[in-house]
Amino acid sequence: MLEGRFCLLSRVFSCSCQQQPESKWPYMMTFHQLKVDIAKGKRPLEFDGDDDDDEENRQRKLCKLLDCCEVMETAQPSSCGEPEPSEDESNQDGAASSDSDSLIHRIGRDNSISCLIHCSRSDYGAIASLNKSFWSLVRTGELYKLRRQNDVIEHWIYFSCHLLEWEAFDPNRRKWMHLPRMTSNECFMCSDKESLAVGTELLVFGKEVTAHVIFRYSILTNSWSSGMRMNAPRCLFGSASLKEIAILAGGCDSEGRILSSAELYNSETQTWELLPDMNKPRKMCSGVFMDEKFYVIGGIGGSDSKVLTCGEEYDLKTKKWTEIPNMSPGRSGAARENEMPATAEAPPLVAVVNNDLYAADYADMEVRKYDKERRLWITVGRLPERAVSMNGWGLAFRACGDRLIVIGGPRNLGEGFIEINAWVPSEGPPQWNLLARKQSGNFVYNCAVMGC
Protein backbone atom coordinates (compact mmCIF):
# COMPACT_ATOMS: atom_id res chain seq x y z
CA MET A 1 0.00 0.00 0.00
CA LEU A 2 2.81 2.39 0.89
CA GLU A 3 4.54 1.68 -2.43
CA GLY A 4 1.41 2.70 -4.29
CA ARG A 5 1.05 5.87 -2.23
CA PHE A 6 4.66 6.81 -2.89
CA CYS A 7 4.35 6.29 -6.64
CA LEU A 8 1.55 8.85 -6.67
CA LEU A 9 4.45 11.32 -6.61
CA SER A 10 5.29 10.36 -10.18
CA ARG A 11 1.76 11.07 -11.38
CA VAL A 12 0.91 14.24 -9.52
CA PHE A 13 4.16 16.14 -9.35
CA SER A 14 6.07 17.23 -12.47
CA CYS A 15 9.18 19.33 -11.97
CA SER A 16 11.67 20.74 -14.45
CA CYS A 17 14.89 22.63 -14.02
CA GLN A 18 13.95 25.57 -16.19
CA GLN A 19 16.95 27.85 -16.60
CA GLN A 20 17.77 27.74 -12.90
CA PRO A 21 21.23 28.41 -11.50
CA GLU A 22 22.60 25.47 -9.57
CA SER A 23 22.11 27.19 -6.21
CA LYS A 24 18.37 27.40 -6.83
CA TRP A 25 18.01 24.13 -8.66
CA PRO A 26 15.03 22.11 -7.30
CA TYR A 27 17.36 19.37 -6.05
CA MET A 28 18.62 21.88 -3.51
CA MET A 29 15.16 22.71 -2.18
CA THR A 30 14.57 21.32 1.30
CA PHE A 31 11.71 18.93 1.91
CA HIS A 32 10.17 21.31 4.44
CA GLN A 33 10.27 24.26 2.02
CA LEU A 34 8.66 22.10 -0.66
CA LYS A 35 5.86 21.12 1.69
CA VAL A 36 5.27 24.73 2.84
CA ASP A 37 5.10 25.97 -0.76
CA ILE A 38 2.61 23.27 -1.74
CA ALA A 39 0.46 23.96 1.31
CA LYS A 40 0.33 27.64 0.31
CA GLY A 41 -0.90 26.66 -3.14
CA LYS A 42 2.35 27.41 -4.95
CA ARG A 43 2.99 25.20 -7.95
CA PRO A 44 6.43 23.64 -8.43
CA LEU A 45 8.49 24.43 -11.51
CA GLU A 46 6.88 22.92 -14.58
CA PHE A 47 7.59 22.32 -18.23
CA ASP A 48 6.52 24.75 -20.96
CA GLY A 49 2.99 24.35 -22.15
CA ASP A 50 1.48 22.90 -18.98
CA ASP A 51 -2.21 23.64 -18.75
CA ASP A 52 -3.60 24.77 -15.42
CA ASP A 53 -5.88 22.25 -13.77
CA ASP A 54 -9.22 23.45 -12.54
CA GLU A 55 -9.31 24.35 -8.88
CA GLU A 56 -10.96 21.12 -7.74
CA ASN A 57 -8.41 18.89 -9.48
CA ARG A 58 -5.52 21.02 -8.27
CA GLN A 59 -6.63 20.81 -4.66
CA ARG A 60 -7.12 17.05 -4.94
CA LYS A 61 -3.61 16.61 -6.34
CA LEU A 62 -2.11 18.76 -3.61
CA CYS A 63 -3.85 16.70 -0.94
CA LYS A 64 -2.53 13.47 -2.44
CA LEU A 65 0.99 14.86 -2.63
CA LEU A 66 0.91 16.13 0.94
CA ASP A 67 -0.37 12.71 2.07
CA CYS A 68 2.65 11.10 0.39
CA CYS A 69 4.99 13.67 1.93
CA GLU A 70 3.57 13.04 5.42
CA VAL A 71 4.50 9.37 5.07
CA MET A 72 8.01 10.27 4.00
CA GLU A 73 8.51 12.93 6.64
CA THR A 74 7.56 10.40 9.33
CA ALA A 75 10.10 7.96 7.94
CA GLN A 76 12.78 10.59 7.22
CA PRO A 77 12.64 13.73 9.38
CA SER A 78 15.89 15.25 8.05
CA SER A 79 16.00 17.56 5.03
CA CYS A 80 18.53 17.88 2.24
CA GLY A 81 19.34 21.44 3.25
CA GLU A 82 20.55 20.48 6.72
CA PRO A 83 24.26 19.90 7.46
CA GLU A 84 25.63 16.38 7.55
CA PRO A 85 25.86 14.94 11.10
CA SER A 86 29.30 14.81 12.66
CA GLU A 87 30.99 11.49 13.39
CA ASP A 88 30.23 11.87 17.10
CA GLU A 89 26.57 12.58 16.44
CA SER A 90 26.35 9.55 14.17
CA ASN A 91 27.88 7.33 16.83
CA GLN A 92 25.44 8.62 19.43
CA ASP A 93 22.45 7.77 17.30
CA GLY A 94 23.15 4.74 15.13
CA ALA A 95 19.45 4.38 14.40
CA ALA A 96 19.46 7.62 12.42
CA SER A 97 22.02 6.21 10.00
CA SER A 98 19.99 3.01 9.63
CA ASP A 99 16.83 5.02 8.90
CA SER A 100 18.66 7.09 6.33
CA ASP A 101 19.92 4.02 4.51
CA SER A 102 16.40 2.66 4.21
CA LEU A 103 15.07 5.78 2.38
CA ILE A 104 11.40 4.97 3.11
CA HIS A 105 11.93 3.26 6.43
CA ARG A 106 8.71 1.26 6.54
CA ILE A 107 9.46 -0.67 3.34
CA GLY A 108 13.26 -0.67 3.38
CA ARG A 109 15.91 0.58 0.96
CA ASP A 110 15.49 -2.08 -1.75
CA ASN A 111 11.74 -1.60 -2.02
CA SER A 112 12.22 2.18 -1.89
CA ILE A 113 14.60 2.05 -4.84
CA SER A 114 12.28 -0.30 -6.70
CA CYS A 115 9.64 2.45 -6.48
CA LEU A 116 12.05 5.23 -7.40
CA ILE A 117 13.54 3.68 -10.52
CA HIS A 118 10.05 3.33 -12.02
CA CYS A 119 9.17 6.99 -11.44
CA SER A 120 9.57 9.36 -14.36
CA ARG A 121 12.90 11.15 -14.26
CA SER A 122 11.06 14.44 -14.63
CA ASP A 123 10.00 13.86 -11.00
CA TYR A 124 13.52 13.37 -9.68
CA GLY A 125 13.98 17.04 -8.82
CA ALA A 126 11.03 16.81 -6.44
CA ILE A 127 12.14 13.44 -5.08
CA ALA A 128 15.65 14.73 -4.40
CA SER A 129 14.26 17.62 -2.38
CA LEU A 130 12.68 15.34 0.23
CA ASN A 131 15.81 14.81 2.34
CA LYS A 132 19.55 14.15 2.20
CA SER A 133 19.23 10.46 1.37
CA PHE A 134 17.00 11.04 -1.64
CA TRP A 135 19.13 14.02 -2.71
CA SER A 136 22.30 11.91 -2.68
CA LEU A 137 20.66 9.03 -4.54
CA VAL A 138 19.62 11.31 -7.41
CA ARG A 139 22.36 13.94 -7.48
CA THR A 140 25.27 11.47 -7.47
CA GLY A 141 23.80 9.56 -10.41
CA GLU A 142 23.39 6.35 -8.38
CA LEU A 143 19.69 6.16 -9.21
CA TYR A 144 20.41 6.30 -12.95
CA LYS A 145 22.98 3.50 -12.61
CA LEU A 146 20.36 1.39 -10.87
CA ARG A 147 17.87 2.16 -13.65
CA ARG A 148 20.37 0.90 -16.24
CA GLN A 149 21.01 -2.25 -14.25
CA ASN A 150 17.27 -2.92 -14.16
CA ASP A 151 16.73 -2.00 -17.84
CA VAL A 152 14.53 0.96 -16.92
CA ILE A 153 15.22 3.53 -19.63
CA GLU A 154 13.34 6.73 -20.39
CA HIS A 155 14.20 8.63 -23.58
CA TRP A 156 14.18 12.41 -23.89
CA ILE A 157 14.92 14.39 -27.04
CA TYR A 158 17.42 17.27 -26.91
CA PHE A 159 17.75 19.68 -29.79
CA SER A 160 18.98 23.14 -30.69
CA CYS A 161 17.25 25.55 -33.07
CA HIS A 162 19.11 28.64 -31.84
CA LEU A 163 22.85 29.01 -31.35
CA LEU A 164 23.87 28.26 -27.75
CA GLU A 165 20.27 27.40 -26.81
CA TRP A 166 18.96 23.88 -26.20
CA GLU A 167 15.58 22.43 -25.38
CA ALA A 168 14.52 19.03 -24.10
CA PHE A 169 11.29 17.23 -24.92
CA ASP A 170 9.77 14.40 -22.89
CA PRO A 171 7.79 12.35 -25.46
CA ASN A 172 5.92 10.39 -22.80
CA ARG A 173 4.46 13.42 -21.06
CA ARG A 174 4.82 15.62 -24.15
CA LYS A 175 6.50 18.37 -22.14
CA TRP A 176 9.17 20.89 -23.13
CA MET A 177 12.06 22.14 -21.01
CA HIS A 178 14.60 24.90 -21.60
CA LEU A 179 18.19 24.09 -20.71
CA PRO A 180 20.47 26.81 -19.32
CA ARG A 181 22.09 28.85 -22.09
CA MET A 182 25.59 27.83 -23.15
CA THR A 183 28.35 30.38 -22.71
CA SER A 184 30.91 30.59 -25.50
CA ASN A 185 32.54 32.91 -28.01
CA GLU A 186 31.63 33.86 -31.57
CA CYS A 187 34.07 31.37 -33.07
CA PHE A 188 32.27 28.46 -31.40
CA MET A 189 28.91 29.83 -32.51
CA CYS A 190 29.99 29.89 -36.17
CA SER A 191 31.87 26.58 -36.27
CA ASP A 192 30.54 23.15 -37.23
CA LYS A 193 29.00 21.47 -34.21
CA GLU A 194 28.08 17.86 -33.44
CA SER A 195 26.09 16.61 -30.48
CA LEU A 196 25.83 13.33 -28.62
CA ALA A 197 23.88 12.14 -25.58
CA VAL A 198 25.54 9.47 -23.44
CA GLY A 199 24.65 8.33 -19.93
CA THR A 200 23.31 11.39 -18.12
CA GLU A 201 25.26 13.85 -20.29
CA LEU A 202 24.72 15.87 -23.43
CA LEU A 203 27.98 16.63 -25.26
CA VAL A 204 28.32 19.42 -27.82
CA PHE A 205 31.48 19.46 -29.93
CA GLY A 206 32.76 22.57 -31.70
CA LYS A 207 35.78 24.76 -32.29
CA GLU A 208 37.02 27.90 -30.64
CA VAL A 209 39.83 30.18 -31.84
CA THR A 210 42.79 27.87 -31.24
CA ALA A 211 41.37 24.41 -30.58
CA HIS A 212 38.41 22.08 -30.57
CA VAL A 213 36.23 22.23 -27.49
CA ILE A 214 33.59 20.04 -25.86
CA PHE A 215 30.76 21.41 -23.75
CA ARG A 216 29.09 19.00 -21.37
CA TYR A 217 25.57 19.37 -19.98
CA SER A 218 24.74 17.18 -16.98
CA ILE A 219 21.16 16.41 -16.01
CA LEU A 220 22.43 15.83 -12.46
CA THR A 221 23.41 19.48 -11.99
CA ASN A 222 21.39 21.15 -14.77
CA SER A 223 24.52 23.01 -15.82
CA TRP A 224 27.13 23.23 -18.57
CA SER A 225 30.86 22.74 -18.17
CA SER A 226 33.83 22.52 -20.53
CA GLY A 227 37.37 21.25 -20.52
CA MET A 228 37.11 17.64 -21.67
CA ARG A 229 39.50 16.85 -24.50
CA MET A 230 39.76 13.87 -26.83
CA ASN A 231 43.07 12.20 -27.59
CA ALA A 232 42.60 13.30 -31.22
CA PRO A 233 40.22 16.31 -31.31
CA ARG A 234 37.96 16.33 -34.38
CA CYS A 235 34.78 17.52 -36.03
CA LEU A 236 32.39 16.12 -38.69
CA PHE A 237 32.65 12.62 -37.20
CA GLY A 238 30.16 9.76 -36.86
CA SER A 239 29.05 8.84 -33.35
CA ALA A 240 26.59 6.83 -31.27
CA SER A 241 26.08 5.88 -27.63
CA LEU A 242 25.18 2.72 -25.76
CA LYS A 243 24.25 3.20 -22.08
CA GLU A 244 27.24 4.93 -20.46
CA ILE A 245 29.67 4.64 -23.40
CA ALA A 246 29.94 6.35 -26.79
CA ILE A 247 32.16 5.88 -29.83
CA LEU A 248 33.31 8.67 -32.15
CA ALA A 249 34.89 7.70 -35.48
CA GLY A 250 36.47 9.57 -38.36
CA GLY A 251 36.01 13.28 -38.96
CA CYS A 252 38.55 16.05 -39.57
CA ASP A 253 41.35 17.37 -37.42
CA SER A 254 42.15 21.07 -36.99
CA GLU A 255 44.15 21.04 -40.25
CA GLY A 256 41.26 19.61 -42.24
CA ARG A 257 42.81 16.15 -42.63
CA ILE A 258 40.28 13.31 -42.83
CA LEU A 259 40.78 10.83 -39.99
CA SER A 260 40.53 7.05 -39.70
CA SER A 261 40.96 7.10 -35.91
CA ALA A 262 38.23 6.40 -33.38
CA GLU A 263 37.75 6.92 -29.64
CA LEU A 264 35.55 5.52 -26.90
CA TYR A 265 34.15 7.80 -24.20
CA ASN A 266 32.99 6.58 -20.79
CA SER A 267 30.56 9.06 -19.24
CA GLU A 268 30.90 7.59 -15.75
CA THR A 269 34.66 8.16 -15.61
CA GLN A 270 34.70 11.03 -18.16
CA THR A 271 37.68 9.42 -19.89
CA TRP A 272 38.63 8.86 -23.55
CA GLU A 273 40.22 5.69 -24.92
CA LEU A 274 41.80 5.41 -28.36
CA LEU A 275 40.47 2.51 -30.45
CA PRO A 276 42.09 0.80 -33.44
CA ASP A 277 41.90 2.78 -36.68
CA MET A 278 39.15 2.13 -39.21
CA ASN A 279 40.00 0.62 -42.57
CA LYS A 280 39.17 3.89 -44.36
CA PRO A 281 39.44 7.51 -43.28
CA ARG A 282 36.10 9.30 -43.56
CA LYS A 283 34.30 12.46 -42.54
CA MET A 284 30.62 13.53 -42.56
CA CYS A 285 29.69 9.95 -41.75
CA SER A 286 27.03 8.61 -39.38
CA GLY A 287 27.27 6.18 -36.47
CA VAL A 288 24.89 3.72 -34.82
CA PHE A 289 24.95 0.85 -32.35
CA MET A 290 23.26 -2.34 -33.57
CA ASP A 291 23.45 -5.87 -32.14
CA GLU A 292 25.85 -4.46 -29.51
CA LYS A 293 28.34 -3.46 -32.20
CA PHE A 294 29.22 0.00 -33.45
CA TYR A 295 28.77 0.90 -37.11
CA VAL A 296 30.06 3.89 -39.02
CA ILE A 297 28.16 4.48 -42.27
CA GLY A 298 28.91 6.41 -45.46
CA GLY A 299 30.71 9.72 -45.46
CA ILE A 300 33.43 11.24 -47.59
CA GLY A 301 36.96 9.88 -47.88
CA GLY A 302 40.19 10.37 -49.76
CA SER A 303 41.91 13.44 -51.10
CA ASP A 304 39.29 13.74 -53.85
CA SER A 305 36.42 13.87 -51.30
CA LYS A 306 34.85 10.75 -52.75
CA VAL A 307 31.47 9.60 -51.43
CA LEU A 308 31.83 6.28 -49.58
CA THR A 309 29.11 3.68 -49.99
CA CYS A 310 30.61 1.21 -47.53
CA GLY A 311 30.23 0.99 -43.78
CA GLU A 312 32.45 -0.44 -41.07
CA GLU A 313 31.56 -2.60 -38.07
CA TYR A 314 33.50 -2.38 -34.81
CA ASP A 315 33.25 -5.39 -32.50
CA LEU A 316 33.75 -4.26 -28.90
CA LYS A 317 34.80 -7.78 -27.87
CA THR A 318 37.42 -8.49 -30.54
CA LYS A 319 38.32 -4.79 -30.97
CA LYS A 320 38.43 -5.18 -34.75
CA TRP A 321 36.92 -3.27 -37.67
CA THR A 322 35.24 -5.06 -40.58
CA GLU A 323 34.33 -3.27 -43.80
CA ILE A 324 30.78 -3.81 -45.09
CA PRO A 325 30.09 -2.94 -48.74
CA ASN A 326 26.99 -1.01 -49.81
CA MET A 327 25.92 -0.23 -46.26
CA SER A 328 25.30 3.45 -46.91
CA PRO A 329 21.79 4.31 -48.14
CA GLY A 330 23.53 6.35 -50.86
CA ARG A 331 23.09 9.87 -52.17
CA SER A 332 19.66 11.15 -53.05
CA GLY A 333 18.54 11.24 -56.67
CA ALA A 334 18.34 15.04 -56.56
CA ALA A 335 21.96 15.32 -55.44
CA ARG A 336 23.15 13.08 -58.26
CA GLU A 337 21.06 14.79 -60.94
CA ASN A 338 22.19 18.28 -59.95
CA GLU A 339 25.81 17.16 -59.53
CA MET A 340 25.71 18.58 -56.05
CA PRO A 341 29.08 18.54 -54.22
CA ALA A 342 29.25 15.73 -51.71
CA THR A 343 29.92 18.19 -48.89
CA ALA A 344 26.67 20.05 -49.61
CA GLU A 345 24.56 17.09 -48.57
CA ALA A 346 23.95 16.07 -44.96
CA PRO A 347 25.51 12.86 -43.59
CA PRO A 348 23.30 9.75 -43.92
CA LEU A 349 20.13 10.11 -41.84
CA VAL A 350 20.10 6.73 -40.09
CA ALA A 351 18.73 5.30 -36.83
CA VAL A 352 18.37 1.90 -35.14
CA VAL A 353 15.22 0.60 -33.44
CA ASN A 354 15.12 -2.93 -32.00
CA ASN A 355 18.40 -3.71 -33.79
CA ASP A 356 16.94 -2.80 -37.19
CA LEU A 357 18.60 -0.04 -39.22
CA TYR A 358 16.46 2.62 -40.92
CA ALA A 359 17.30 5.57 -43.15
CA ALA A 360 15.45 8.72 -44.21
CA ASP A 361 15.64 9.78 -47.85
CA TYR A 362 14.91 13.49 -47.59
CA ALA A 363 14.62 14.00 -51.38
CA ASP A 364 12.12 11.23 -52.11
CA MET A 365 10.53 11.59 -48.63
CA GLU A 366 10.89 7.86 -48.03
CA VAL A 367 11.84 5.62 -45.10
CA ARG A 368 14.11 2.68 -45.90
CA LYS A 369 15.08 -0.40 -43.90
CA TYR A 370 18.38 -2.24 -44.16
CA ASP A 371 18.25 -5.98 -44.86
CA LYS A 372 21.27 -7.23 -42.93
CA GLU A 373 21.35 -10.64 -44.62
CA ARG A 374 21.10 -9.43 -48.23
CA ARG A 375 22.80 -6.08 -47.49
CA LEU A 376 20.10 -4.17 -49.31
CA TRP A 377 17.99 -1.10 -48.56
CA ILE A 378 14.22 -1.59 -48.93
CA THR A 379 11.65 1.21 -48.99
CA VAL A 380 9.02 0.66 -46.28
CA GLY A 381 6.98 3.87 -46.43
CA ARG A 382 6.90 7.65 -46.42
CA LEU A 383 8.35 10.35 -44.20
CA PRO A 384 5.97 12.91 -42.66
CA GLU A 385 4.93 15.18 -45.52
CA ARG A 386 5.74 18.39 -43.63
CA ALA A 387 9.29 17.34 -42.72
CA VAL A 388 11.29 19.74 -44.85
CA SER A 389 15.05 20.24 -45.02
CA MET A 390 17.82 21.78 -47.07
CA ASN A 391 19.71 18.90 -48.69
CA GLY A 392 19.05 16.90 -45.52
CA TRP A 393 20.29 19.65 -43.19
CA GLY A 394 17.81 20.84 -40.58
CA LEU A 395 16.01 17.50 -40.39
CA ALA A 396 16.57 15.16 -37.44
CA PHE A 397 15.96 11.42 -37.83
CA ARG A 398 16.55 9.54 -34.58
CA ALA A 399 15.68 6.44 -32.59
CA CYS A 400 13.78 7.13 -29.38
CA GLY A 401 13.24 3.86 -27.55
CA ASP A 402 10.96 1.68 -29.68
CA ARG A 403 10.06 4.65 -31.87
CA LEU A 404 11.59 6.46 -34.81
CA ILE A 405 11.24 10.22 -34.60
CA VAL A 406 11.48 12.90 -37.26
CA ILE A 407 12.00 16.50 -36.20
CA GLY A 408 11.43 19.14 -38.85
CA GLY A 409 8.63 21.31 -40.05
CA PRO A 410 7.17 23.62 -42.68
CA ARG A 411 8.76 27.00 -43.37
CA ASN A 412 7.16 30.09 -44.87
CA LEU A 413 8.63 33.56 -45.45
CA GLY A 414 11.05 33.36 -42.56
CA GLU A 415 8.50 31.81 -40.22
CA GLY A 416 8.02 28.17 -39.52
CA PHE A 417 7.31 25.38 -37.09
CA ILE A 418 9.21 22.57 -35.47
CA GLU A 419 7.20 19.35 -35.44
CA ILE A 420 8.07 16.09 -33.70
CA ASN A 421 6.57 13.03 -35.39
CA ALA A 422 6.94 9.44 -34.16
CA TRP A 423 6.38 5.97 -35.61
CA VAL A 424 6.65 2.58 -33.90
CA PRO A 425 8.07 0.18 -36.54
CA SER A 426 6.83 -2.93 -34.72
CA GLU A 427 3.25 -1.78 -35.32
CA GLY A 428 3.43 -1.94 -39.12
CA PRO A 429 4.19 0.39 -42.07
CA PRO A 430 4.97 4.03 -41.25
CA GLN A 431 2.06 5.82 -39.61
CA TRP A 432 3.41 9.06 -38.16
CA ASN A 433 1.95 10.46 -34.97
CA LEU A 434 2.43 14.16 -34.27
CA LEU A 435 3.77 14.41 -30.72
CA ALA A 436 4.36 18.16 -30.53
CA ARG A 437 4.49 21.33 -32.58
CA LYS A 438 5.90 24.75 -31.75
CA GLN A 439 6.70 27.89 -33.68
CA SER A 440 10.32 28.40 -34.66
CA GLY A 441 12.05 30.48 -37.29
CA ASN A 442 15.05 28.16 -37.50
CA PHE A 443 15.92 24.65 -38.59
CA VAL A 444 17.11 21.99 -36.17
CA TYR A 445 20.88 22.51 -35.95
CA ASN A 446 21.69 19.63 -33.61
CA CYS A 447 19.70 16.81 -32.06
CA ALA A 448 20.40 13.95 -29.65
CA VAL A 449 18.31 11.42 -27.73
CA MET A 450 19.26 10.60 -24.14
CA GLY A 451 18.12 7.29 -22.69
CA CYS A 452 18.62 6.95 -18.94
Residues 333 and 192 in one domain: yes
Q: What is the enclosing helix (H) or strand (E) of 273? A: strand 271-275
128-175 pLDDT tens trace? 888 888 888 888 999 999 999 999 999 999 999 888 899 999 999 999
**Euclidean distance between CA atoms 193 and 180, whole angstroms:** 18
Four-point Cα dihedral 349, 218, 148, 395, nearest 10: -10
pLDDT of residue 237: 96
Last-in-domain residue among 130, 149, 168: 149
Q: Is residue 314 part of a domain?
A: yes
Question: How confident is the model at residue 419, as a pLDDT?
Answer: 92
- Exposed/middle/buried for 429, CB within 10 Å: 0-12, 13-18, 19+? exposed
Do 355 and 206 fall into the same domain? Answer: yes
For residues 308 and 212, state if they share a domain. Answer: yes
What range defines the domain where residue 97 resides? 2-149
- Residue 310 and residue 332 in one domain: yes
391 part of a folded domain: no
* 113 and 164 part of one domain: no
**Does 140 lie in the same domain as 161?**
no
Question: Considering its fold, how many domains does the chain have in total?
Answer: 2
Residue 31 near residue 131, CB atoms below 8 Å: yes
What is the 3-class SS of 9-34, one letter each residue?
Answer: HHHHCCCCCCCCCHHHCHHHCCHHHH
What's the whole-model pTM score? 0.79
Q: Which residues of 349-375 are buried (b: 16+ CB within 10 A; e: fewer)?
A: bbbbbeebbbbbbbbeebbbbbeeeee
- Residues 235, 340, single domain; the answer is yes
Q: How far apart are alpha carbons 201 and 217 in whole angstroms?
A: 6
Last residue of a domain, one of 149, 183, 206: 149
Same domain, 55 and 131: yes
CATH of the domain at 164: 2.120.10.80
Q: Does residue 101 fall inside a structural domain?
A: yes
Shared domain for 74 and 221, answered yes or no, is no
Give strand pairing partners of 421.
406, 434
pLDDT for the residue numbered 48: 53
Q: Which residues of the chain have a pLDDT value below 70?
A: 1-102, 303, 331-339, 411-414
Residue 398 placed within a domain: no
Residue 431 maps to a domain: no
Residue 434 counted as domain residue: no
Q: Are residues 350 and 235 in the same domain?
A: yes
> Helices then strands (H, E): number in the chain?
11, 27
Q: Is 114 a domain residue?
A: yes
User: Which pLDDT value is given to residue 56?
Assistant: 52
d(CA 131, CA 79): 4
Among 123, 149, 175, residue at a domain's last position = 149
